[in-house]
Amino acid sequence: MDHHPHPLDGGSTAPASATPTAADLELLDEIQQRVLWLATRIVDSANHDRATGDGVKVGGHQASSASLVSTMTALWFAHLDEADRVSVKPHASPVFHAIQYLLGNLDRSYLTTLRARGGLQSYPSRTKDPDPVDFSTGSVGLGPAAPLFAAATRRYVDAHFGARPASRFVALMGDAELDEGNVWEAIADDATQGLGKVMWIVDFNRQSLDRVVPGVRIAQWTAQFAAAGWHVVEVKYGRRLRAAFARPGGEALRAWIDNMPNEHYQSLFGLPEQDVRKQFLDGAPREVADFCAVIPDAELATLVTDLGGHDLGSLLEAFAECDAVTDRPSVVFAYTVKGWGLPTAGNPRNHSALLTTAQVDELRTARGLTAATEWDGLDPATPAGRLAAERARLFTRPAAPSFVAPAVPEASGVRTGKPLSTQEAFGRVLAELSRQPELAPLLVTTAPDVATSTNLAGFINRTGVFAPVERRAWNSDPVLRWAEGPTGQHIELGISEMNLFLLLGQLGLSWDLSGQPLVPVGTVYDPFVLRGLDAFIYAVYSGSRFIVAGTPSGVTLAPEGGAHQSTITPSVGLELPNSVTLEPAYAGALDWLLCDAVGQVARGEGGAHYFRLTTRPLEQSPFDAAKARLGETVLRRQVLAGAYRLVEAPVSGDAPVVRLAASGAVLPEVLAAAAELAEEGIAAHVIDVTSQDLLYAEWQRTLRSGYRTARTPDSPGALRAAFGSGRAPLVTVHDAASHSMAWLGGALGVPTVPLGVDAFGQSGTVGDLYEINSLDSGSIVNAALAALSLAE
């Protein structure tokens, strides 16, 4: 079994007071046996007791759960405190629910509902599980990183609002998660350095989904963690094996196990006791055989499979050692076996394997349980039951505190007289909001090394950059006064979009995990939203609230070429639940939308707000004209609803009418096309779609309310106000994939010609790129004529 020097061998640095007694360990072993049974039976019940009727396997992970039973028992019944926050390995969900049941945080009725409608989720979920989950997990690699960024958020909160009750941020992760690149991005970032209250525990069972991993990269991984400034602990051997190593001849035994291939070692776990000796000593040197000769079969089988990750005492020593290291994060490699305590232990194909009914019956009987008592908790009259009751009091979470939301103005009052890009307007509005006395302390910005190029400089100059300790500013640039210290309100990240969304996600959960609401705002180059998409999805699935600006976007970033031009991000934003995507063209509309988004986050409403912005300066007079025509109150309401009529074309007699709908930077070309069509006697109404996401959501709500009550759906109010009720055909124009706004034709029930970008871009001027992709005014005119012909 591949080996790396073991810090616990030869003595631990854990405080003596943390050393558990033999009686403590015996009690914890009794509890972990009940946890193992319940976790196994939860999965078994889902697959054998519940008829699904659809022929689809329910599934579950009995073996992957079993490997963490010892670790999780040690944590919840002997180590964690009330304020600690834990991320649980996805496949250990049944173990987590079993523990929550024994602690009284989960009703017994849920134990038979794994993966059922309204029941226990496949993987721990903050928003869907009935028991208290700190961090959602499921997408491997993100669960471990979340507590790391939650700890960074707590450090920020403590520095700005006073110290909260001390929390440890713990992650339980599978060893295969170390294959995910985002894990290494997270530990390397400057924003996560020095977090002494973080502990990752790696379930080091050395198996993947399909096989026992033939080679283990433990030396590489521990070196990488150490190089990133982490404290590294390996819990490889249990106390029985370590005691054996200390006896004469024990070093040869240790060397034999250290050098044993993983496949050989894992094969010992599925054997009867009397067969372990032969398998273990196959090819062993004489001194090892001699050492083992005096050990009875039953004792030898227990001894040579004594892994540290299943030795409760060794685990608690390692946790105490990590607690003692307060200047950096810690990682514990707990050597385990997948399927520990089950007949499938060590089987290379046990990842999703289910115990047979006969095996479950045998396990039940071995635990002294019957069909009538199998779901029982711990008897409160026994030492185990009393310990569970004592620990349960620690994990009774108080109700979430109520917060008084700060006043947020409807508009910042930013000046919009000259041509202005939405990216520049975004930075100006944010800087103005930082002058609001109630709101300003809650604002926190972050960016992956693009703060200045996405126009956050004004905010940073006012508030500074966050650092745990004061850092001298050597830069004399008057444009960017980069003062760093504990009072700063901008968190600068390295170039990792995954880290951006992981941090935004945890900043947006600070009201729960750190007892302090924040208004997080992030910026990122829009093409690279997709690099962080997994973490973006993870954040909104977890119920986080934040604002992110993707800028610059589309082929409007013309000289940069195809590698930096985003075309599918609007579709991603439109389809992402718990978020709203906004793409205003004019600074006044952006001002209203951004202030509204800030207000929602500050009040604890909604989810994420994704602004898609550009660097192209636009004349602001068309928006001012619409405000004069509609009035500020009406226009603001329509902008916030998702669309308004920018140009109301005069219609005379039976003149043909067409509607031109567009978002963002293409509005000047659309206005030019409308003017050209007017010269040809065609009335072209121009609709500025500030958020197709909001429009789509209202359309769907209206449809559902109709077909679910078997009545004709009404036309959504926002669509009706902006587009009118006529049958005029439609042209959609978007600096994005042409299909992204094509749905509007279906919503309005009219012939539609969608224009957009359906190929990778190239370098050139904005005019060049618009012409290539049929976004120029001439192409829009031709599309309008085509739409009219379709309507004939």
CA distance 666 to 687: 12
Question: Encoding tokens for residue 24?
Answer: 């403590």
Which H or E run includes 269?
A: none
Identify the CA nearest to 733 among candidates 650, 788, 679, 667.
667
Given a contact cutoff of 8 angstroms between Cβ atoms, the answer to whether 287 and 252 are in contact is yes
Question: Encoding tokens for residue 276?
Answer: 């372990």
HEC string for 637-684: HHHHHCEEEEECCCCCCCCCEEEEEEEHHHHHHHHHHHHHHHHCCCEE
| 513 contacts: CB under 8 Å, gap ≥ 6 | 85, 134, 150, 153, 154, 167, 506
Question: Encoding tokens for residue 412?
Answer: 């910042």
Taking the CA atoms of 324, 325, 330 and 336 in sequence, report the sign of the dihedral they define: negative
HEC string for 523-565: EECHHHHCCCHHHHHHHHHCCCCEEEEECCCCCCCHHHCHHHC
C-alpha distances in Å from residue 688, one per residue of 319, 664, 701, 723, 732: 58, 8, 22, 10, 10
Which H or E run includes 111?
A: none
CA distance 195 to 1: 32
Using only the alpha carbons of the chain, give its radius of gyration: 31
Beta bridge partners of 173: 202
Asked if residue 207 belongs to a known ligand binding site, the reply is yes
CA distance 44 to 217: 34
The one-character DSSP state at 307 is: B
Given a contact cutoff of 8 angstroms between Cβ atoms, the answer to whether 450 and 494 are in contact is no
CA distance 456 to 653: 51
CA distance 690 to 611: 10
Identify the CA nearest to 490 among candidates 467, 509, 513, 468.
467
Question: Encoding tokens for residue 147?
Answer: 């507590």
For 368, other C-beta atoms within 10 Å of its C-beta total 9
Given a contact cutoff of 8 angstroms between Cβ atoms, the answer to whether 341 and 69 are in contact is yes
Asked if residue 175 belongs to a known ligand binding site, the reply is yes
For 475, other C-beta atoms within 10 Å of its C-beta total 10
Identity at 79, one-letter amino acid code: H
The CA-CA-CA angle for residues 593, 693, 722, to 5°, reads 75
Given a contact cutoff of 8 angstroms between Cβ atoms, the answer to whether 571 and 560 are in contact is no
C-alpha distances in Å from residue 671, one per residue of 243, 412, 487, 667, 789: 83, 27, 46, 6, 21
Annotated binding site for Mg(2+): 175, 205, 207
Residues in the annotated binding site: 175, 205, 207
